[in-house]
Each structure stands twice: as structure tokens, then as C-alpha cells.
Amino acid sequence: MDRRNFIKKVGVGAAGLAAAGALGHSKALAKKGKRFNWKMTTCFPPKYPIIQPACERFAKRVGIMSDGQLKIQVFGAGELIPAMETFEAVRQGTAIKVGGSASYYWSGKIPEASFFAAFPFGFTARETYAWLFHGGGLKLWRDLYGEYNLVPFPFLNTGVQMGGWFRKEINSISDLKGLKMRVPGLGGKVYAKAGVNVVLLPIAEIYPALERGVIDACEWATPFLDIRSGFHRVAKYYYYPGWQEPGTNAEIIINKKAWESLPQHLQVIVETAAHESIIWSTAEFDTRNAEALNKIISEKKVEMRKFPDDVLKLLKKISRETMAEEAAKNPRYKKIYESAKNFQKKITNWSKIGEQAIYHAASL
């Protein structure tokens, strides 16, 4: 098997291929033994659970696997730079070569980046990696981030982000009208179009706003992250499953020049450690989310509800219209949106007929 096919077969990224091909033999040998000390900054507070430890675990495993040849020192948000400067700092690559984040944090600047984290009525966790690894998604992501001098890696999945905490039941579309809800991002845009009075509040102000009845509802994250915020203690709540982020993927981003400076074995070590984290950390989120959800349900204040089908249908329709509007004015967005949409069409039957039947059987 020739080198090209070999590398293709084992799934080394296109960026790595180019770097390896461009080097002569002796230069490549010198490069092989070079040692690297990199800094990594993340968008997560130093004590943030599961995600920040996953970043540290990634860096440590890279260090061990490379027998110390590639050392990555991890800093949480604010330790070196603020969270939202991660993309720019890694892109410049001056002091920091690696970032830990989620692509939709950059959607203000690059709306199409969202598809590699989550999108409304989009992919479940498992569907996300089917699209990325075997449906062309990762190639699109690498092309997009390549324009910003970055190489991205899928990294971790939180699972379904819940629909949120509601002080009133949502029994029909009219219950959305005028509802004061804290919900950011694309989900917020969609709710606003459906008549919700969307309120933007910094994290620290959500709890008191709920307590004083300034807002009627809030969306935060998964049960494990929700329960830490203590929302379930504020009042009697209806807790709804989600639709706005069906399986949110986090990312590792690496400065492209720094990436290309790595010999091939270190590139494969980094890529493998990032991918490995997906299965390890998604399993961790699933376990902790399960425990938290059971606890939320067992506390008498919270009742589980489901959005009625007509509400979901409306939110889905608005979600698609909103994404189609963006696609109409942004060719890069359109290309990625259509790839995701077409892959979703392809995989839906399998998810429904395979997985959903199992969940049904489990509930009997």
C-alpha cells in the first residue's frame, strides 16, 4: 500500500498529509525527534466539571503517548485570556497553540460554525459523528477553519440539552406568546419568532430572576449542568426535553502552523486522543446526566413534561426557515447546511427504526 493510501486509510487529516508530503527525508527525520511544549486555553472555567477535566485528560494522554515529546499545559478560561478570545489567540498562535471550546461560540463571526457543535432539530450525538467522520462533515469543518489558520477536532458530546425550566405548562402555541424566557443563541432566535419574549441574562443573574419571577422560564444545558445551577430549587417547575441542541459537540482547535510543524506520529497521537475523548466523555456526560435527571425527578417540585407536537412542529418550521434565510445570503453556510440536512435525511430512518424501537422496548 502506498503512503498516500495508507494515510488515507488510517484517517490522518488532510493537513497532516500536506505537511508530511512537503518535507524531504532528512528534514523529516530531524523533525521527528523535536520536542514541543504547548499551551492550551479553554472556554471553560478552571473548575468546570467533565469538560475541563476532559481537556486536561486529553493533554495528559498526549504527553504520555508521546513519551513527553509533546507536552500540552492546560489553562481554564480567564487564567491566560478570557474565554471568548480563545479562537483569536489560537488562530494567531503566538503564545497559545491549542484551544478547547465549542464551535458555536464563534457563530457571531462565523454563523456556519454552529453546525459543528449543534443545531435545532439537528443531529443526536451519534448522528453527529456519523456525519463528521463518514458523511463529509469533518472535511467541511477543516476547510472552514483552515481559512482561519486553525485545525479543528471533534472532542466531546454533552448529549441532549434540555428544553428548560418553565413555571407554566406549555400546552399550546399560544402559551409561548409573551413568555419571558432566558434563552440565548439560535434557540433564542427561534423562540422569539414564535412569540416568546426572549431575555438575555448573564449566568449569575438567572437564578435571582427566576426567584423573583422576572422571567418565566430558562434554558441552560443538560440535567447534570442544570442541577448544579440549582434551578430546581427555585420554584415548582415543569422540565422539558430539548430540541435546540440535540447533541452538542465540543472542539479542540490547533493553530495550523503549529499542527503542520508536528511529525506524523504526534499528529496521529493528537487526533486519536481527541477522538477517544468523544466516547469517554460522552459516556461520562450520559452517566452524570442520568443520575442528575433521576434526582431532579425524585424531588417533588419538578414535573417532567413534553412539548406538544404542534409546538414542536412550529419551532421546527421556524428553525428551518431561519437557517434557510442565513443560507440564502452566505454560500459557506449554505454548503454546510445542505450537507448536514442531506445527511440527516439519510440517517433518520435508521435512528428511528433502530434506536427508537429499543427505547420503546426499554419502557415496556
Of the pair 34, 109, the CB lying nearest a copy of itself is at 34
Of the pair 139, 313, the CB lying nearest a copy of itself is at 313
Nearest C-alpha neighbor of 153 from the set 245, 73, 309, 268: 268
Of the pair 255, 267, the CB lying nearest a copy of itself is at 267
Q: What is the DSSP letter of 305?
A: -
Question: In the bound complex, what is the minimum distance in angstroms from residue 71's beta carbon to a copy of itself?
Answer: 13
Question: In the bound complex, what is the minimum distance in angstroms from residue 145's beta carbon to a copy of itself?
Answer: 20
Give the angle 249-72-23 at the CA atoms, nearest 5°.
Answer: 95
Question: In the bound complex, what is the minimum distance in angstroms from residue 63's beta carbon to a copy of itself?
Answer: 9
DSSP run (H or E) holding 240: strand 237-240
Question: In the bound complex, what is the minimum distance in angstroms from residue 77's beta carbon to a copy of itself?
Answer: 20
Question: In the bound complex, what is the minimum distance in angstroms from residue 32's beta carbon to a copy of itself?
Answer: 7
Of the pair 93, 159, the CB lying nearest a copy of itself is at 159
Question: In the bound complex, what is the minimum distance in angstroms from residue 8's beta carbon to a copy of itself?
Answer: 11
Alpha-carbon span 121 to 2, nearest angstrom: 42
Q: Concatenate the DSSP letters of all residues of 47-106 into one string.
A: T-TTHHHHHHHHHHHHHHHTTTSEEEEEE-TTTSS-GGGHHHHHHHTSS--EEEE-GGGG
Of the pair 273, 327, the CB lying nearest a copy of itself is at 273
Task: Decide if 159 contacts 282 (C-beta within 8 A).
Answer: yes
Question: In the bound complex, what is the minimum distance in angstroms from residue 52's beta carbon to a copy of itself?
Answer: 12
Nearest C-alpha neighbor of 268 from the set 85, 128, 70: 70
Task: Decide if 151 contacts 15 (C-beta within 8 A).
Answer: yes
Sequence-ordered alpha helix ranges (H) in 198-240:
203-211, 223-229
Alpha-carbon span 277 to 254, nearest angstrom: 16
Of the pair 9, 212, the CB lying nearest a copy of itself is at 9
Alpha-carbon span 251 to 142, nearest angstrom: 12
Of the pair 124, 197, the CB lying nearest a copy of itself is at 124
